[in-house]
Every structure is written in structure tokens, then in C-alpha cells.
């Protein structure tokens, strides 16, 4: 190929032509070079090629230098050129050495091509591929680490994607599924392997999928497997056809839900139906009795002398005794009859009877069974039982109402206990006199609220770090014109039952804030809040108004609630409590440890304080178990950043025991009984004066 042919070829195959002499200086550049190199050709002639900024790709520089040193051709070497406009360019050059007629080396002749666009396209493809690879890696990682099983089907019901969790969930081998497999084939395989419970067929499973996909929004289907597990299956349609199925093992959740439902309707200690369940069962039994023309007896049972046993031998023995009583009561009833625990040492029995004689015979048998001696943990305990009976008999004009029957049985129980215990009484209409007395007490309670016969007394809360009173608990008292000071145990239940607790609680809150505003320093005041108060609309505004009217800082007010506050209408109550705590008001849980779910509520709400119920303190000085419980609760509070206060400290040994277990605050008659407002203020003033004297 002659020189002219080479030039014609290079014009076609390249962007520009270049030549150098034996010293590496440019001797010729085609006119196109000026466009690509960004410099006039005239300025480049005679310039040594090393004056350019060369940056070859990996390995290119070595090949280039080796070719020049050996004076041999090189081809398609790519380098980065620093264009004067600042934008990098990628050029590809090829060259071959030239020799004179006598064979002497005369330089190089070659071509250059601008491959910038190809390079950018290649880099973009490489980057896109890397990004796609990373996305696939992340997708695979997410897919394989899902807690749910997953299958993706296309519009033709063919399997496209699945994960390992799905295989594990249904006990399938890794090669059991293939891309393109139909959904029906998968279901047939699962049914053939016996993965579903008996009765599940290919058609029923397929129909479930179809129904789910045509429903408004994804809805979980519950699939019961042969091994007892429950799988929640959700199908979500995809745009353009096909769907995604997710599979979640909800076995434990279902068990927990069933356990929670059971716990809500059963007593935590004896596992007997509670009052709520008894009402529901009673309605059902009354309906059945009405249809059959039969009778039903409602028996309310109360243990005699249980408290002395509980106080003498401790709660462990007391709890064991309640379990033993429950077992004996169960043994005395038939399969369709019901034994329930209403709370404390109170039980109830629903028993199908023909007449009053049947009912009294049942009562006598129950009393005899329960009254036999018990042997518990080396302790012999003897108790008795009183029974009140209400009857729903066909000849009496119907089967009555369960609520009414429970009330009548309770009235009869009151009469049985008044008669000397260990006996039974049938309800008689004259027992309604008790109800009339209760109505009279309610009337007097309303009157007392109107004319101001209530007082607030205060019991100190003592910080054990320096044995100082840091707060006072407000306790309401009723000064009756004839009975004197009436215990809250008498009128608070009535106030709650009648709704009077709301205005009464509002008055106590205002009075407590007013009294506390005059106390020295930052002494706090704790006010008990009834579940009815907290549920009442406007309770939060009542608290804010009381603080504003008295000038008491929100941080000095502590509201004490019990677990029952959270058991009823939980979300609304929690919202109210969060709002009050946001204002700076402190929230404490009273009687901690007496319910089955106290610890779970500590997770749901950030209490500032938990008050350990006095029942744990009674035997803490002598019982290692009681001390261990207090220590565990104190440790729990410390780990959650919650102050713990021990109630009911009445003796020095008890104080020493709770102090040793790490309690931060205590309360009890050892320090002071509840005192009228003036005496409480004087007690705080004396402490303040004593502190000032010591400091001086």
C-alpha cells in the first residue's frame, strides 16, 4: 500500500493523521487534529509528543513505551487527553515506525480516533450494570432475610420469585420449586406432602387465593398446617397482572392472643372464670334454663377466717389455700355447672337446680368440703365459708336477670355472715333493706359533697437517702355528723359506683394543690386518681385548672393510678396520661405487683414512680421470698429509670429490710399516720426549721 493509499485509508478509518520524526516531534498533523486536540496545527508541529498530558489506561503506557523502544507498531491504545476546554477526552491511537530508503529509522506515522462518546457509553453501561448488580444483591439479601415467606406469580399464574423462608415454612427441599411452575402445581405438591390440615384440598386453597385477589384490599387468609401451626397468607395484586403472596407464621401470636383473651376472662391465680366471664356465662345459662323450664341457683361464697391465715402464714400460703379451695369447689360441681372467683376470697357458683331444697343441699355440701382442714407447705389451715343463694325458678315467674341474681345472692351472703358465718341464707325480699340503706348512704354522700364535709389528710413520703419527707400523699376523709370520720373503704366504692367520684376527686385535687402550694421547698403532693376520673372527659383540663388556680408547679404534682386504669379503655387513658406528663406532672402506678400485667404496662407508659403494694412488705423482714420480690421490683425500676416507693412500712424490721433491698422511698405508719392538713404543714415546717438549724 503506497503513501497515498495509506492517507486515503486513514481519512476513512480515523479522525486525524499524525507523523513524528525520529526524535518524536510532530512533523505532520492532518487538519482535523485541530478540531479534536483543540489547538492550531501550526502550533503543534515540531512539538515533542511528550509535551502532551498522556494518561493511558491500565497497561497501555507500558505497551506504548515498549513499542517505541523496540521501534515496532502499536495499535488501539487508549489514553485520556486534557483538552484545553477542560473536558477530558478519550483518544485511541495506532502507529507504525517509518524507515528511509537505506533502512534508517525516520519516525512514526499513525492515526488518532476520538472514542470519548464510546467510552462514556461504556462507562455508563458499566455503572448501570454495577448498580443493577448491587440492587440484585440487596434484593436477594432482603428476600433471604425476610421473616415472611414470599412467592411472586406472573399474570399466567407462573412462579417467578420465591425465598428460602417460604421453603422452610412449608418444609420444601431447595429444588422443590422452579421458575415457571404454576401455582396449582405448588399447591398440589403441598397437599400431597400433607402440609395442610386434614380436609384442605387443592381446590379450597386455590379458591382462597382467587377470593383474596378479588376482594377490596389485601386480607390475610389463615391457613392451618398439619403440625398445628397457623400461617397468615396475604395476596397483593400487581399492576399489569400477577400477584405477590406473603406467608407469616402467626402461631405464637394467635396463642398469645388466646392467652390474653383467656386471662382477661379468668382469674390469674386459680384460672377460674372471673366476674366478667361469670356474667357472660350466666346470661347463657339463664337462657338455656328458660328454654328447658328448669331452675338455676346463683351462689355467692365468701371464705371465713381467710385473712388471719393469710396474715399469719404469708401470701404464699394464702395463695395456695385459694388454689386448694378452687380445686375443692370444682370437685363438688358437675360438668355444666360453673365455679368462678370474683376476687380476693370471694367465689361464685352457677348450679342447675330443680327447687330451693336442691340449692340449699348444694350450699351445705360446698361449705362442708371447703371447711375440711388444709395441709399447705407444712402448715395446717382451717377456714370456713358463708354462702348466699339467689334462685331463678320457673314457678317464680321466670328465670330472672343475672345481674339481679348476683346482687340478691350477695345480699343473702351478707345476711349469712351476719348470722355467725359458716352457714347459708336464701335471698328474701326483706333483704332489700340493705339496698335501701345503701341508697341512704348515697344520699348522705351527695349531701356531704355539697355542704363540704370532706377533708384531705396527708401521709408523708420519706426519701431514705437522707430520711427526709419529700412529699405527701393526699387521702380523703368524710367527717359525718353522726358517724365521725368515715373510712374511704366505706364511701369510695360507693362514690365510684354512683359516679360521685368525679366531683369528689376534682375537689380533692384542687384542695391538695392549694395545700401543697403553701408547703416549703419543692415538697410534692400525690393524689390518687380513680379510673372513672381519668376516663371522664375534661380530666386533663381539671388538672391544668387546679395548677393554674393554686400556682403549684406541675412538677410538684404526682397522680397515682392503679393498673385498672390501663385495663379499661387503654388507648384513651394512655393519651390523657401522656398529655399530663408532657405538662410536667409526674405519674406513678399504685399497688404495683398486684395485677397480672403491671410489667407490660411499664413498657407502654414511662411511669415516674412505682409504688410497691403493702402486701409485699408485711413479711419482708422474716421472709426471704418477700424480700426477693421487693429487690426484683426495685431492680426493675432502677433499670427503667423509675423511682420505687414501698408502702405499708409499719415496723423497724420492715424498714431495715426494704432499705437493704435498695428501695428509695417509703411510706407507712412507722413514720406517720395520715394527718390533717394543718398538722402535715407543721410537720414539714418543723423539718425545714431543723434542716436550717443543722446548716447554720
- Per-residue pLDDT of 577-590, as tens digits, reads 899 999 999 999 88
Predicted confidence band of residue 594 (pLDDT cuts 50, 70, 90): low
- How many CB atoms are located within 10 Å of the residue 119 CB? 18
The pLDDT of residue 5 is above 50: no
DSSP code at position 506: H
CA contacts within 13 A on the Cβ side of 580? 32
Q: Is 308 helix (H, G, I), strand (E, B) or coil?
A: helix
CB neighbours of residue 22 within 10 Å:
16
Whole-angstrom Cα distance, residue 482 to residue 695? Answer: 48
All cell numbers assigned to 616: 409485699
Reading the block at residue 132, the C-alpha cell is 443493577
Percent of the chain with pLDDT over 70: 93
pTM to 2 decimals?
A: 0.45
261-316, pLDDT tens digit by residue?
A: 888 899 999 999 999 999 999 999 998 888 888 899 999 999 998 887 877 788 88
Cell 378452687 sits at which residue?
Answer: 326
Residues of the chain within CATH 3.30.70.270 domain(s) are: 264-427
CA 310 to centroid of chain Cα atoms: 35
DSSP 354-385: SSHHHHHHHHHHHHHHHHS-EEETTEEE--EE
For every residue of 136-195, DSSP letters joined together read HHHHHHHHHT-SSEEEEE-TTSBEEEE-HHHHHHTT--TTS--TT-BHHHHHHHHHHTT-
pLDDT digits (tens, 9 = 90+) for 142-155: 777 788 899 999 99
Which of the listed ranges 3-12, 442-451, 480-489 does the model predict with the highest average pLDDT?
442-451
Question: Residue 690: how many CB atoms within 10 A of its CB?
Answer: 11
Cα-to-chain-centroid distance, residue 107: 83
Beta-bridge partner residues of 299 = 349, 389
Strand partners, 48: 25
pLDDT on residue 208:
87
Q: What is the mean pLDDT of the segment spanning 233-254?
A: 90
Percent of the chain, pLDDT > 90?
A: 47
* Residues 315-369 pLDDT 10s: 888 899 999 999 999 999 998 899 999 988 999 999 999 999 999 999 999 999 9
Reported confidence tier of residue 449, pLDDT bands at 50, 70, 90: very high
* Fold that domain 3-114 belongs to in CATH: Beta-Lactamase (3.30.450)
Residue range 94-122: average pLDDT? 91
What is the rounded distance in angstroms from the CA atom of residue 445 to the CA atom of residue 496?
A: 12
As a whole number, mean pLDDT of residues 41-49 equals: 87
Other CB atoms within 10 A of residue 634 CB = 22
* Cross-strand pairs, 599: none
Q: Answer yes or no: are the C-beta atoms of 677 and 456 closer than 8 Å.
A: yes
Average pLDDT value over all residues in the chain: 87
Would you state the torsion angle of the CA atoms of residues 685, 477, 589, 659, taken in this order, to the nearest 10 degrees? 50
3-state secondary structure of 519: coil
* DSSP state letter for 431: G
Count of CB atoms situated within 10 Å of the CB of 418: 11
Q: What is the pLDDT of residue 414?
A: 82
Closest CA to 454 of 403, 396, 514, 505: 505
For the segment 438-452, the average pLDDT, to the nearest whole number, is 89
Which pLDDT belongs to residue 9?
A: 41
pLDDT at 542 > cutoff 90: yes
Confidence class of residue 6 from pLDDT cuts 50, 70 and 90?
Answer: very low
Q: What are phi and psi of 389, to 5 degrees?
A: -125, 135
Task: Give me the mean pLDDT over the 131-138 stretch.
Answer: 78
Over range 647-667, report the average pLDDT.
89
> Which CATH superfamily groups domain 146-249?
PAS domain (3.30.450.20)
Q: Which is higher by pLDDT, 427 or 573?
A: 427
pLDDT at 181 over 90: yes
Q: What is the pLDDT of residue 14?
A: 65
In this prediction, residue 257 has a pLDDT band, given cuts at 50, 70 and 90, of: confident
Q: Please give the pLDDT value at position 357.
A: 93
Cell triple for 334: 358437675
Confidence of residue 52 (pLDDT cuts 50, 70, 90): low
Number of residues that this document lists for the chain: 696
| DSSP codes of every residue in 245-296 | EEEEE-HHHHHHHHHHHHHHHB-TTT--B-HHHHHHHHHHHHHHHHHHT-EE
Q: How far apart, in Å, do the first and last CA atoms of the chain sit?
A: 117
Whether the predicted pLDDT of 439 surpasses 60: yes
What's the whole-number mean pLDDT along residues 415-441?
Answer: 82
pLDDT, tens digit, for every residue of 606-644?
899 999 888 788 767 666 777 788 888 888 888 888 999
Q: Band the pLDDT of 445: cuts 50, 70, 90.
A: very high
- Greater model confidence, 518 or 490: 518
Report pLDDT for 1. 41
Tally of CB atoms within 10 A around 376: 17
Res 567 pLDDT > 60: no
Second-level CATH architecture of 439-695: Alpha-Beta Barrel (3.20)
Q: Is the dihedral of CA 571, 638, 589, 594 positive or negative?
A: positive
For residue range 194-209, what is the model confidence (pLDDT) as tens digits?
999 988 899 988 888 8
Pick the CATH number of 264-427 from 2.60.120.40, 3.30.413.10, 3.30.70.270, 3.10.580.10: 3.30.70.270
Residue 596, pLDDT > 50, answer no
Q: Please report which helix (H) or strand (E) contains residue 435, including its range.
A: helix 432-451
- Return the HEC string of 533-571: HHHCCCHHHHHHHHHHHHCCCHHHEEEEECCHHHHCCHH
- Listing DSSP states for 563-625 in one string gives THHHHSSHHHHHHHHHHHHHTT-EEEEEEETSSTTHHHHHHHS--SEEEE-GGGTTTTTT-HH
- Collapsing DSSP to helix, strand or coil, 628 comes out as helix
H or E element at residue 511: helix 501-517
Give the residue-averaged pLDDT of 412-425: 86
CB-based contact 17:42 (threshold 8 Å): no
- What is the biggest distance separating any 2 CA atoms in the chain, rounded to whole angstroms? 145
Residue with cell 369447689: 329
Q: For residue 576, give the C-alpha cell.
A: 390523657
Q: Which three cell numbers stand for residue 233?
A: 397468607
Q: Helices 501-517 & 677-695, crossing angle to 10 degrees?
A: 30
For the chain, where do the domains classified as CATH 3.20.20.450 start and end?
439-695
pLDDT higher than threshold 90 for residue 219: no
Q: Distance (Å, rounded) from C-alpha 322 to C-alpha 270?
A: 7
- Residue 418 in this model has a pLDDT that exceeds 90: no
- Where do the CATH 3.30.450.20 domains begin and end in the chain? 3-114, 146-249
Taking the C-alpha atoms of residue 400 and residue 397, their distance in angstroms, rounded to an integer, is 8
Run of H or E residues at 211: helix 202-214
What is the reported pLDDT for 10?
42
Residue with cell 413514720: 671
Give the per-residue pLDDT at 519: 94
Q: What is the pLDDT of residue 325?
A: 96
Amino acid at each position: 500500500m503506497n503513501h497515498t493509499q495509506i492517507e486515503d485509508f486513514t481519512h476513512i478509518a480515523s479522525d486525524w493523521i499524525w507523523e513524528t520524526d525520529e526524535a518524536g516531534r510532530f512533523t505532520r498533523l492532518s487538519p482535523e487534529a485541530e478540531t479534536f486536540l483543540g489547538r492550531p496545527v501550526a502550533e503543534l508541529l515540531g512539538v515533542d509528543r511528550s509535551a502532551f498530558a498522556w494518561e493511558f489506561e491500565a497497561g497501555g503506557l507500558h505497551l506504548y513505551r515498549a513499542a517505541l523502544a523496540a521501534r515496532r507498531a502499536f495499535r488501539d491504545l487508549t489514553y485520556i487527553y486534557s483538552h484545553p476546554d477542560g473536558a477530558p477526552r478519550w483518544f485511541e491511537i495506532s502507529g507504525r515506525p517509518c524507515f528511509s530508503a537505506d533502512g534508517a529509522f525516520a519516525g512514526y506515522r499513525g492515526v488518532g480516533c476520538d472514542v470519548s462518546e464510546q467510552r462514556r457509553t461504556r462507562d455508563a453501561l458499566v455503572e448501570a450494570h454495577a448498580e443493577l448488580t448491587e440492587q440484585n444483591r440487596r434484593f436477594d439479601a432482603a428476600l433471604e432475610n425476610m421473616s415472611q415467606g414470599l412467592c411472586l406469580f406472573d399474570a399466567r399464574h407462573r412462579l417467578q420469585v420465591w425465598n428460602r423462608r417460604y421453603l422452610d415454612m412449608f418444609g420444601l427441599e431447595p429444588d422443590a420449586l422452579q421458575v415457571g411452575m404454576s401455582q396449582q402445581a405448588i399447591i398440589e405438591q403441598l397437599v400431597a406432602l400433607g402440609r395442610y390440615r386434614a380436609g384442605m384440598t387443592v381446590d379450597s386453597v386455590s379458591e382462597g387465593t382467587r377470593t383474596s385477589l378479588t376482594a377490596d384490599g389485601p386480607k390475610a387468609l389463615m391457613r392451618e398446617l398439619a403440625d398445628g401451626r397457623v400461617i397468615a397468607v396475604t395476596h397483593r395484586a400487581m399492576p399489569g397482572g400477577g400477584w405477590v403472596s406473603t406467608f407469616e407464621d402467626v402461631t405464637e401470636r394467635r396463642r398469645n392472643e388466646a392467652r390474653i383473651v383467656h386471662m382477661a376472662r379468668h382469674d390469674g391465680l386459680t384460672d377460674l372464670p372471673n366476674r366478667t366471664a361469670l356474667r357472660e356465662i350466666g346470661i347463657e345459662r339463664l337462657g338455656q334454663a328458660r328454654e328447658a323450664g328448669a331452675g338455676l341457683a346463683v351462689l355467692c361464697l365468701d371464705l371465713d377466717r381467710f385473712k388471719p391465715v393469710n396474715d399469719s402464714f404469708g401470701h404464699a400460703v394464702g395463695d395456695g389455700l385459694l388454689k386448694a379451695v378452687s380445686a375443692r369447689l370444682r370437685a363438688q360441681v358437675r360438668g355444666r355447672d360453673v365455679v368462678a372467683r370474683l376476687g380476693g376470697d370471694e367465689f361464685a357458683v352457677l348450679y342447675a337446680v330443680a327447687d330451693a331444697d336442691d340449692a340449699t343441699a348444694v350450699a351445705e355440701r360446698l361449705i362442708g368440703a371447703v371447711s375440711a382442714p388444709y395441709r399447705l407447705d407444712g402448715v395446717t389451715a382451717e377456714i370456713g365459708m358463708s354462702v348466699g343463694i339467689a334462685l331463678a325458678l320457673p314457678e317464680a315467674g321466670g328465670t330472672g336477670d343475672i345481674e339481679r341474681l348476683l346482687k340478691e345472692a350477695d345480699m343473702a351472703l351478707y345476711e349469712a355472715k351476719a348470722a355467725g358465718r359458716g352457714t347459708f341464707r336464701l335471698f328474701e325480699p326483706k333483704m332489700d333493706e340493705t339496698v335501701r340503706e345503701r341508697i341512704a348512704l348515697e344520699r348522705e354522700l351527695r349531701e356531704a359533697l355539697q355542704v363540704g364535709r370532706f377533708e384531705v389528710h396527708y401521709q408523708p413520703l420519706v426519701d431514705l437517702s437522707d430520711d427526709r419527707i419529700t412529699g405527701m400523699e393526699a387521702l380523703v376523709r368524710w367527717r359525718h355528723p353522726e358517724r365521725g370520720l368515715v373510712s374511704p373503704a366505706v364511701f369510695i366504692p360507693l362514690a365510684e359506683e354512683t359516679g360521685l367520684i368525679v366531683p369528689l376527686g376534682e375537689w380533692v385535687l384542687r384542695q391538695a394543690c392549694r395545700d401543697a402550694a403553701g408547703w416549703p421547698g419543692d415538697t410534692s403532693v400525690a393524689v390518687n386518681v380513680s379510673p372513672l376520673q381519668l376516663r371522664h372527659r375534661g380530666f386533663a383540663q381539671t388538672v391544668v385548672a387546679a395548677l393554674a388556680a393554686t400556682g403549684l408547679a406541675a412538677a410538684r404534682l404526682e397522680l397515682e393510678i392503679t393498673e385498672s386504669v390501663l385495663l379499661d379503655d387503654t388507648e384513651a387513658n394512655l393519651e390523657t396520661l401522656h398529655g399530663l406528663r408532657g405538662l410536667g406532672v409526674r405519674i406513678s402506678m399504685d399497688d404495683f405487683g398486684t395485677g397480672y400485667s403491671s410489667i407490660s404496662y411499664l413498657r407502654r407508659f414511662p411511669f415516674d414512680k412505682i409504688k410497691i403494694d403493702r402486701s409485699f412488705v408485711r413479711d419482708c423482714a422474716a421472709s426471704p421470698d418477700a424480700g426477693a420480690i421487693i429487690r426484683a421490683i426495685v431492680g426493675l425500676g432502677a433499670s427503667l429509670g423509675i423511682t420505687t416507693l414501698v408502702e405499708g412500712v409499719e415496723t423497724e424490721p420492715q424498714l431495715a429490710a426494704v432499705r437493704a433491698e435498695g428501695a428509695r422511698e417509703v411510706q407507712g405508719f412507722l413514720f406517720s399516720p395520715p394527718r390533717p392538713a394543718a398538722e402535715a404543714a407543721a410537720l414539714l415546717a418543723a423539718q425545714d426549721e431543723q434542716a436550717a438549724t443543722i446548716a447554720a
